[in-house]
Amino acid sequence: MNNADDVLIGLDPEQRAVAEAVRGPVCVLAGAGTGKTRAITHRIAYAVRSGVVDAQSVLAVTFTTRAAGELRQRLRALGAPGVQARTFHAAALRQLTYFWPRVIGGDAPSIIESKLPVLAEACRQVRRTPERSELRDIAAEVEWAKVTQVGPEDYVAAAAKHHRTPPIPVEELARLYEAYEQIRRERHLLDFETILELTAAVMTEHREVAAQIRQQYRYFVVDEYQDVNPLQKLLLDTWLGGRDDVCVVGDPNQTIYSFTGASPRYLTGFAVEHPDAAVIKLVRDYRSTPQVVDLANLVIAKGRSPHRLELVAQRPDGPRPAFSDYDDEPAEAAGVARAIRKLLDQGVHSREIAVLFRVNSQSEAYEEALSKAGIPYVLRGAERFFERPEVRQAVVLLRGAARSASGEPLASEVHHILAGVGLTPSPPGGGKAREKWESLKALADLAEDLAAEGGDLPAFVAELERRASEQHAPPVEGVTLASLHAAKGLEWDAVFLVGVTDGMLPIIYAETPEQIEEERRLLYVGVTRAREHLSISWALARAPGGRKSRRPSRFLDGLTGRAAAPPRAAAAPRERRQVAAPVSCRVCAKTLVAAAEQKLGRCSTCPADYDEALLERLKAWRTTMAKETKVPSYVIFTDVTLQAIAERAPATEQELRAIPGVGKVKIDRFGEAVLSLCRA
């Protein structure tokens, strides 16, 4: 392409309006499947090729390394190869590292990938021994505080203002936060939040640094702007330095990370911050059939957001979304596996099928069902492709072979090398062996694609290294199993949304109207991942023979073609307040006063008779549930409640309900799992 106008060919009217709005401020409200990446890359390329801006003066910022890599790849194809496309952290770290010797001096600090080791040491300093799940919850709370610019001294007040529920008392978390920061500074360490904070501080305190960076970058594009947090916004404003040549792109319907500190108000309030901004809406959906788009519009229309975008489908008609209920979770998983087998028999590739769920712990039933059906699957969000042992081993062997030319055709040579680490002509049955085989097969397929373009082994190794740096994994054959959060930004021909019940979606811990609305948007994200086939299902009970007390998600009311489940009856008003009877110790018969003793049913000094193995099983289960549902462990059950369960070892739901701290909501959500552990 030589003519700048060539870049505009093939764009729809709204995408073209984005591309031609070459000067900021510009706000692009882009619905799911409307081609936002296409629009913003063509805008950058058009601005560069028409001489509005030099490619080296553009900084395109996004949230993942893979998304940044895709932007660079598309811009190269459009004739704008010099544009910088990076994540917030990568761009800030590059600048901070460059200016460190000049403005700070000495060795640059080390970057920590995880806060957990430093936090563990901070816990030892304050004489606390947390479980690993609790440590992760503490780390998440510290990250929230840092991205919202709340220091240790202000954390207690901020936590109360924002209705935070930290895993430990707020005063103790504030002390841990302070200890973490002290250790980090003493050890000369930077975490991801401090990278952004320091970069902004260096620019603010050193005018010559700010001038040089602003001289370099004059033209900004920020993708996924609905997910920007206050710290990222601070850095962006510092980069801009009062200028307004910025284009932001996002979808208010896909705001699903508020719990991490992300705020959609920067997107929805952009036109208020910049009154002269051009606001362009992309609503033509090229991804999904009208049937899928109609359902997505209905899901979001029932919400409370004033900023929703109504999509307009551009594809031909397809099948109507299917709604299915099952007696229990194993039956639901088996039914989904049968439906997937039917799609495979119709010619749909397994890599174009996804099973999406609210929390990762739901995947186990589908892993088992797909394995039994002989259907390969891939767990997304587990281990990154290029970090898998078999892939790392293969890349090392390929890199070594590339140093000495053999003269053998690329595809043949790669197949020969991969055969030595487990690639066979036909796949094994299932499980880990099948996962390993699929990884190696993906490398072999990529080699065949490059061979068709005339590439050799050194070029193939270079391509693998580029993809590894950008986390751009080759497509792996297999049904994708992923959480709804992990599925954002992806799409498949067929999507199965499973476990869509009240208590799971919305999750039981979503209590405020804002939290409920975010759960609705999560369902919307799931629906809009489907191009053609969409199935939504739920199970009425957790296990076979269990009480069928579940109901489909309230978000589906009026959408399934079935009568909505009757609302739960309100409790009858009481004429007078009931006073609880005194609780006596079951060991010494003394009246119990302390809440913890009442929950245990004995004095704290009386001997306890319980199964230690059961208590360990209960704690391990709670840890898993807390991790998967992204809540503190104590929200599932407190330590005292688990101790009481272990001591009483309830065999029936009635016995479990008799334990203080185990109410109806927790019986519905966790009762069968707890009773199963007790019976074991």
Dihedral, CA of residue 450, residue 451, residue 453 and residue 459, to nearest 10 = 60
User: Binding site annotation covers 649?
Assistant: no
CB 312 within 8 A of CB 282: no
Q: Is 240 helix (H, G, I), strand (E, B) or coil?
A: helix
User: Binding site annotation covers 34?
Assistant: yes
Distance separating alpha carbons of residues 238 and 253, to the nearest angstrom? 28
Structure tokens at 105: 């001096």
Q: Is 385 helix (H, G, I), strand (E, B) or coil?
A: helix
Number of other CB atoms surrounding residue 513 within 10 Å: 10
β-strand partners of 222? 61, 248
Distance separating alpha carbons of residues 611 and 436, to the nearest angstrom? 40
CB 93 within 8 A of CB 111: yes
User: Binding site annotation covers 33?
Assistant: yes
| CA dihedral over 4, 10, 11, 16, signed as positive or negative | positive
Which residue has 């080390």 as its token pair?
A: 110
User: Closest by alpha carbon to 365, among 385, 339, 335?
Assistant: 335
Q: Is 535 helix (H, G, I), strand (E, B) or coil?
A: strand
User: What is the 3-state composition of the chain as percent helix, strand, coil, each rounded to the nearest 5?
Assistant: 50, 10, 35
User: Closest by alpha carbon to 194, among 185, 203, 186?
Assistant: 185
User: Binding site annotation covers 652?
Assistant: no
CB 45 within 8 A of CB 78: yes
User: Binding site annotation covers 623?
Assistant: no
Q: Is 209 helix (H, G, I), strand (E, B) or coil?
A: helix
Number of other CB atoms surrounding residue 9 within 10 Å: 10
Structure tokens at 439: 């990884």
Q: Kindly state the DSSP code that residue 195 receives in the 8-state scheme.
A: H
Distance separating alpha carbons of residues 520 and 553, to the nearest angstrom? 10
Which residue has 């882009």 as its token pair?
A: 30
**Which residues are annotated binding-site positions?**
30-37
**Which residues are annotated binding-site positions for ATP?**
30-37
